[in-house]
């Protein structure tokens, strides 16, 4: 018999980072290959499993940033350093960093959509020589909703970082939608430009439209999709769209494929 992929493993909480009242990052022990954009199925006592994307990759750890939405992910906040959680994964294809190396990279994230791309930003922050340029545009509802604040300050050292909020901007951010900042991007070689867009569907659609205006071709755009995923391994069917299983074939899609996904 092959491996029983449904049996979760124990992972220890090494650190808990509170971003906002409802968003926490749990730094979990994990040995093994994992890519930004992949996800783990996390067992949450008194609820069940929820797919949580990897928001950071460390030495023997993975970060799981969890938003307290509905009853799904509430219980998880009762966990503290030293506790264990049950995980399965990592699942999904994740982002292939090699595709972005040597390019002018634009990352556009909306809200918690910053989680799945945070590993990409971290990587090119640590390896600035591997990108021709790097821009992050991240949008949030308000200043209080901004996650990864410390990381953002760190990224600003060697990257072009634009943070936007829908209302009540302060000195750290700008007012308005992420899409407003796409036309202003300074790009040297549009053919050597790649864009990664993750967030709510409407935000992704509008951002891609702006990128097209800029001259970025769809082959150079990647998005990440979020759907109900019970199993994460191509069995339960909930995440299927057309002939695509988000959990197996995604959640990261080149836009040439991603644009075809209609639920």
Partner 1 sequence: MGYKISLDDMNLALEELSKDYMIYAPKVFEGEGKFSDTDLIRYGEVEGLEEIVFDEKSDYSFKEALTPISEVLFYFTEDEIKEADKPDRGALIFLRSCDLHSLKRLDEIYLNNGYEDYYYKRLRENTKFILMGCQKSFENCFCVSMGTNKIDSYDSYIKLEGDTVYIDNKCEDLDKVFRKADIQEVDVKPDFVEENDIKVSIPDNLSLDVMDAKMWEEYASRCIACGRCNFVCPTCTCFTMQDVYYTDNGKVGERRRVWASCHVDGYTDMAGGHSYRKDNGQRMRFKTLHKVYDYNKRFGYHMCTGCGRCDDICPEYISFSNCVNRLEDAMKEVE
Among 64, 247, 252, 253, binds partner 1 (CB under 8 A): 247
Among 20, 43, 93, 132, binds partner 1 (CB under 8 A): 43
Q: Could you say whether residue 202 binds partner 1 (CB under 8 A)? A: no
| Nearest distance from C-beta of residue 23 to partner 1, angstroms | 12
Among 167, 171, 188, 262, binds partner 1 (CB under 8 A): 262
As given in the structure block, the two tokens for residue 212 are 């097209």
Q: What single-letter DSSP state applies at residue 211?
A: H
> By C-alpha distance, which of 241, 243, 248 is closest to 263?
241
For the segment 207-246, give every residue that binds partner 1 (CB under 8 A): 226-228, 230-231, 233-238, 240, 242-243, 245
Residues 48, 118: contact at Cβ < 8 Å? Answer: no
Cβ proximity to partner 1, 114 vs 231, nearer residue: 231
C-alpha span between 25 and 64 (Å, rounded): 5
> By C-alpha distance, which of 219, 151, 201 is closest to 163?
151
| Nearest distance from C-beta of residue 184 to partner 1, angstroms | 31
For the segment 2-31, give every residue that binds partner 1 (CB under 8 A): 2-8
> By C-alpha distance, which of 215, 213, 210 is closest to 192?
215
C-alpha span between 63 and 25 (Å, rounded): 6
| Nearest distance from C-beta of residue 166 to partner 1, angstroms | 18
Q: Which residue stretch of 25-33, 43-51, 95-103, 114-122 sits at the interface with partner 1 (rule: CB under 8 A)?
A: 43-51
C-alpha span between 253 and 230 (Å, rounded): 20
Q: Which residue stretch of 39-47, 102-110, 152-160, 165-173 sits at the interface with partner 1 (rule: CB under 8 A)?
A: 39-47
C-alpha span between 82 and 47 (Å, rounded): 21
C-alpha span between 233 and 110 (Å, rounded): 26
> By C-alpha distance, which of 112, 39, 57, 51 is closest to 76?
51
Print the binding letters for residues 47-86 with partner 1: x by CB under 8 A, - otherwise: xxxx----------------x-xx-xx-x----------x
Binding positions for partner 1, rule: CB under 8 A: 1-8, 43, 45-50, 67, 69-70, 72-73, 75, 86, 226-228, 230-231, 233-238, 240, 242-243, 245, 247-248, 260, 262-263
């Amino acid at each position: 018999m092959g491996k029983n992929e449904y049996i979760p493993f124990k992972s220890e909480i090494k650190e808990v980072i509170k971003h906002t009242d409802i968003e926490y990052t749990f730094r979990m022990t994990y040995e093994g290959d994992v890519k930004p954009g992949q996800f783990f199925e996390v067992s949450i006592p008194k609820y069940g499993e929820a797919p949580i994307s990897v928001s950071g990759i460390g030495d023997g750890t993975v970060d799981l940033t969890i938003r307290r939405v509905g009853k799904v992910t509430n219980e998880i906040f009762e966990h503290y350093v030293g506790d264990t959680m049950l995980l399965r994964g990592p699942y999904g294809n994740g982002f292939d960093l090699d595709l972005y190396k040597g390019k002018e990279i634009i990352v556009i994230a909306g809200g918690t959509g910053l989680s799945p791309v945070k590993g990409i930003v971290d990587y090119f922050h640590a390896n600035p020589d591997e990108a021709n340029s790097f821009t992050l545009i991240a949008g949030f509802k308000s200043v209080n909703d901004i996650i990864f604040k410390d990381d953002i300050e760190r990224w600003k050292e060697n990257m072009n970082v634009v943070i936007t909020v829908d209302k009540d901007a302060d000195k750290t951010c700008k007012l308005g939608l992420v899409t407003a900042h796409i036309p202003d991007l300074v790009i040297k070689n549009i053919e050597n430009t790649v864009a990664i867009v993750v967030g709510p569907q409407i935000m992704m659609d509008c951002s891609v439209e702006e990128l097209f205006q800029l001259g970025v071709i769809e082959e150079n755009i990647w998005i990440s999709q979020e759907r109900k995923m019970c199993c994460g391994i191509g069995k339960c069917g909930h995440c299927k769209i057309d002939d695509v299983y988000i959990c197996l074939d995604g959640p990261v899609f080149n836009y040439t494929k991603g644009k075809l996904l209609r639920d």
